[in-house]
Amino acid sequence: MNVGLEHYLVVSAVLFALGLLGVVTRRNILVIYMSLELMLNAANLALVAFSRFNNNLDGQVMVFFIITVAAAEVAVGLALIVALYRRRQTTHVEDLNLLKH
């Protein structure tokens, strides 16, 4: 079987959708956060695939940017979640209900 662009894209889309599903359905902020990383990686996969099939390395460069930024984001995000846990003793999204309406 010849693995073409479509296959990569489908996998990427599936990853993205899984991530999205995780974000929407999971209750734990950490898990949600991991799902978000999954979505970013879906994009990475798509970029690499496009880069490969377009014969253009720009996409792969972009992936580095994304990974770097994602790392920063994770660092800040986890710190934030930890801070939240220390203040509220929870990482459940339902408990974030002070701000509404």
Partner 1 sequence: MHLQTLPWIILFLPLLAAVVITLFTQRDRKTSATLSISAIVIGFVLTVIFIKANSFNPEVKEVSLNWLDIGPLQAEFGLRLDALSLMMLLVVTGVGSAIHIYSWGYMHEDRCFSRFFASLSLFTFSMLGIVMANNFLQMFISWELVGVSSYLLIGFWYEKASAADAAKKAFITNRLGDFGFMLGILIVWAALGSLNFGKLEAGLADNPAALGSLATLGGLLVFCGAMGKSAQFPLHVWLPDAMEGPTPVSALIHAATMVAAGVYMLSRTFFIYTPEALQVIAWIGGCTALLAALVAVQQNDIKRILAYSTLSQLGYMVMAVGLAAPEAGMFHLTTHAFFKALLFLGAGSVIHAMHHEQDIWRMGGLCKKMPVTYWTFMVGTMALAGVWPLSGFFSKDAILAAAWHHSMPLFIIGVGVAALTTFYMFRLVFVAFLGGERSHEVGHAHESPWVMTWPLRILAVFSIVGGVIGVEALFGGMLHPGGEHPHGLAAQLVYPFKHAPVAALSGLAAFGIGLFAAWTLYARAKEDPLPARIGTLSRWMRDRFYFDELYEATVIKVHDATAAVVDWFDRWLIGFAAVRGSAGATSLFGNVLRFIQSGSLQAYAFLLVLGVAVILFFVLGR
Partner 2 sequence: MNVLILKHEITLLLLALGVMLADLWLPPERKRGLGYLASAGVGAILICSLLTSVPESPFAFRQMYVLDGMALFFKRFFLVATILVLLMAVEFSDRIQAGISEYYSLILFASAGMMFAASANDFALLFVALELITVTFYVLVSFQRGRATSLEAGVKYLIIGALSSAFMVFGIAFIFGTSGSFNFGDIAAKLASPEAGLVNNKLFLFGLLFLLVGLGFKIAAVPFQIWAPDVYQGAPTPTTAFLAVGSKAAGMVLLMRVLFVAVPEVTAQWWKLLVVISALTILYGNLCALPQTNIKRLLGYSSISHAGYLLLGIAAATTAGQSAVLYYLSGYLFTVLAAFVVIVLVLRDTGAEEISSLAGLHQRSPLLAAAMTISMVSLAGIPPLAGFFGKLLLIKSALVVGAEHQSFYWLVGIAVVGVVISLAYYLGVVRAIYWGGEAAEKSAVTLSLPATLTVAACLVGILFIGIYPNPLMKAAEAAVLSFK
Phi, psi of 24 (to 5 degrees): -80, -30
Binding partner 1 (rule: CB under 8 A), the pick from 9, 11, 18, 23 is 23
87 touches partner 1 (CB under 8 A): no
For residue 23, the one-letter residue type is V
- Asked if 76 interacts with partner 2 (CB under 8 A), we say yes
14 touches partner 2 (CB under 8 A): no
| C-beta separation of 70 from 33 below 8 A | no
DSSP character at residue 92 = B
- Contact between 66 and partner 2 by CB under 8 A: the answer reads yes
Least Cβ distance, residue 26 to partner 1 (angstroms): 8
Strand partners, 92: 28
**Shortest gap between Cβ of 27 and partner 1 (angstroms)?**
7
Q: Amino acid identity, residue 25?
A: T
- CA pair distance 75, 79, nearest whole angstrom: 6
Q: Cβ of residue 92: shortest distance to partner 1, in angstroms?
A: 10
Residues that bind partner 1 (CB under 8 A): 20, 23-25, 27, 29, 32, 93-94, 96-101
